[in-house]
Amino acid sequence: MDKKGIKETNGNFSKLKAVMENGFLKSKIEKGFPLKLLERHENFSSLLFYFGLVTIDAVEKGNNVRLAIPNEAVKKLFYEYIREAYDETGVLSLDRYKYSEKMENMAYNGEWRPLFDYIAQQMEKSMSLRDLITGEKFIQGFLIAYLGWSDLYIVHPEREFNKGYADLAMEPFIAQYEGIKFAYLIEIKYMKSIDGKSKKKVEQLKSEAQEQLKRYSIDENFRKSIEKTTLIKLVLVFSGHKLAYIGEVKDA
């Protein structure tokens, strides 16, 4: 525990979070090491590699390799680990029943606001989050962990669409849940708390996100993958750990 009495994650948690937020990590692969030295970056990264949780994506300079998550199944394991770590340390714990009810309404009825309002309200209440949040990538990783809690969607971070990368794409798991009617594209913008007082800054970020979503949403491959559903495009602007704006981007 830290001096405030709040449980803390160990040093390796930040490495797992970095993999989820960035999609990869860079490290050397060690052939062997004692368990008492597991917290060393290269040792823990090597363990993830030997367990098959990451694979070599590219070879870097200085004997470093770029390690990436191999598939969606393993990625979901990362989501679950990160979410459980948040729960255990008191960073944020959601009511599973409330969450599931709101997620189902989002999937089947297109009622997205109650779920995001609920998550945002819990984020505002969390004292721990104020110290953890370091920017847009943290917010993205945090939402990935919690939106990935449900089996209704496959959550894709930083997926390439029409020569750009959408922050989050929520693809309905139609193979298992045929009745889902809505898919989602989400663009996240972040500003420091002090900037959140500026309506001009919020409007600027909102406008940027809206243009990005309009461009991403016409990607042909993505449209084919969600052709049985209606796409909803959402802009989320965070000011520190607070949600300063959330809104839907309508087609012209």
Q: What percent of the chain has pLDDT over 90?
A: 24
CA dihedral 163, 167, 172, 173 (to 10 degrees): 100
Instruction: Give the residue carrying structure tokens 């959402």.
Output: 234
Cβ neighbors of 170 (< 8 A, separation 6 or more) are: 147, 153, 154, 155, 156, 183, 184, 185, 186
Q: Is 182 helix (H, G, I), strand (E, B) or coil?
A: strand
What was the pLDDT predicted at 106?
Answer: 96
Domain residue ranges of the chain, discontinuous segments joined by +: 11-68, 91-249
CA angle 146, 151, 152 (to 5 degrees): 100
Query: Per-residue pLDDT averaged across 85-114, rounded?
Result: 83
Burial 78-87 (b: 16+ CB within 10 A, else e): bbebbbebbe
- Higher-scoring residue by pLDDT: 114, 9: 114
Query: Per-residue pLDDT averaged across 103-131, rounded?
Result: 85
| Residue 191 near residue 201 (C-beta atoms within 8 A) | yes
Q: Where are the beta strands (DSSP E) in 60-164?
A: 65-68, 153-160
Mean of per-residue pLDDT scores for the chain: 79
CA angle 84, 89, 94 (to 5 degrees): 55
* Burial status of residue 22 (CB atoms within 10 A of its CB: 0-12, 13-18, 19 or more): middle
How far apart, in whole angstroms, are the C-alpha atoms of residue 64 and residue 48? 15
The encoded tokens of residue 230 equal 């209606």
What was the pLDDT predicted at 83?
Answer: 64
The encoded tokens of residue 58 equal 């590219």
Query: Per-residue pLDDT averaged across 93-119, rounded?
Result: 92
How far apart, in whole angstroms, are the C-alpha atoms of residue 139 and residue 130? 12
How far apart, in whole angstroms, are the C-alpha atoms of residue 185 and residue 172? 11
pTM of the model: 0.70
